[in-house]
Homo-oligomer: A and B are copies of this chain.
Amino acid sequence: MTQGWQDIQAEALRRIQSREWPPGAQIPKEAELAAELGCARATVNRALRALAEDGWLERRRRAGTRVALSPQRRAQMVVPVLKQEIEKAGKTYNHRLLHIHSDANELQLRTLHLADGAPYAVEDRIIALDVLPQAAIQDFTTISANEWLVQNAPFDHGTMEYSAAPAEAFEATHLSCPEGTPLLVLTRETFSEAGRITRVRMAYAPDHKVRLNI
C-alpha cells in the first residue's frame, strides 16, 4: 500500500471537497496525516504544498494548515508571443513594420501581425533606449519587436492588462474593420532592474478570444 504524493493529494482534495475538512478549518498536522495514511512526512508535505500552490490550502509555520476560505481556482496564462501563437494554430506568420521613430530616449514602433496573410493584431510599442541600447541598431523588419524582445530582454517583472476598446482610425485601417469596432486590447509593461524596458498596446482583430483552461 505504498502511497505516492499524488494519492495523498487526491485524498486531501477529496476531504476538502466533501467538506470533511470544511473551509477555514485546521487540518491535522503533517506528522499525523503521515501516520494515518502510512507514508513519510515528506510525502504529505509534497502533497499539501501542491494543494497550497493551487489555492486549496493556506499554510503557515507553527500555525498549521487550514482549508482556504474560498478555494480560488487559478488558471495559467502565458505571455503571448504572436509568432508562436499563430504558428501553433497551423498558420503562417508574417509581420509588417508600419512605422518607426526614435529620439534620444525612446524607440517607437507600429507593427502589423498577420496570420495566413490576414490581419491578426496591431502592435503599438515604446522601447526605452537607455535600458536597452541594442534596440537602436536592430532591424525590426526581419524580426518583430515582439519576438526580439522576448529573446533578448529578460525582465524581472511586469504587468498585463486586458480591456475592450473601440478601434482607432489606424487600427481600423490595418485590421480591415470599421472604426469603433470593439477590439480586445492587451497592454503590457515589463521592467528590469534598470527600469521600464518596454510598453506595448496590442489591439487584436475583431472577435479574437483569449482562452484559458482551468
Residue of B75, B180, B208 touching A76 (CB-CB under 8 A): B75
Question: Is residue A98 contacting chain B, with contact meaning CB distance below 8 A?
Answer: no
Residues of A within 8 A of B (CB): 17, 23, 55, 70-79, 81, 84, 150-151, 154-155, 157-166, 180-185, 190, 206-214
Provide the bound-state CA to CA distance between A183 and B162, in Å.
11
Instruction: Say whether B212 contacts A77, CB under 8 Å.
Output: yes
What residues of B have a CB within 8 angstroms of the CB of A185 in the complex? 164
Given contacts A164-B182, A211-B161, A214-B159, contact A72 B81 (CB under 8 A): yes
Contact A163 B209 (CB under 8 A): yes
Copies per assembly: 2
Contacting pair B162 A184 (CB below 8 A):
yes
Instruction: List the B side residues contacting A157 at CB < 8 Å.
Output: 213-214
Most-contacted residue by chain B among A23, A72, A183 (CB, 10 A): A72
Taking CB atoms, residues of chain B closer than 8 Å to A75 are 76-79, 160
- Between A and B, 19 residue pairs with Cβ closer than 8 Å are A55-B78, A70-B81, A70-B150, A73-B78, A73-B155, A74-B77, A74-B79, A79-B214, A158-B214, A159-B211, A160-B212, A160-B213, A160-B214, A161-B212, A162-B184, A163-B184, A163-B210, A164-B208, A180-B180
Residues of B within 8 Å of A212, CB to CB, are 77, 159-161
Most buried by B among A17, A71, A164, A207: A164
Residue in A17, A162, A210 with the greatest tally of chain B CB atoms within 10 Å:
A162
| Distance A28 CA – B207 CA, assembled complex (angstroms) | 46
- Expressed in whole angstroms, the Cα–Cα distance for A210 and B208 within the complex equals 16
Query: In the bound complex, do residue A70 and residue B84 qualify as a contact, i.e. CB atoms below 8 Å apart?
Result: yes
Rounded to whole Å, the gap between the CB of A195 and the closest CB of chain B is 17
Across the A-B interface, the 10 shortest Cβ-Cβ residue pairs: A182-B182, A164-B164, A164-B182, A164-B184, A160-B212, A73-B79, A72-B78, A162-B210, A163-B209, A17-B154
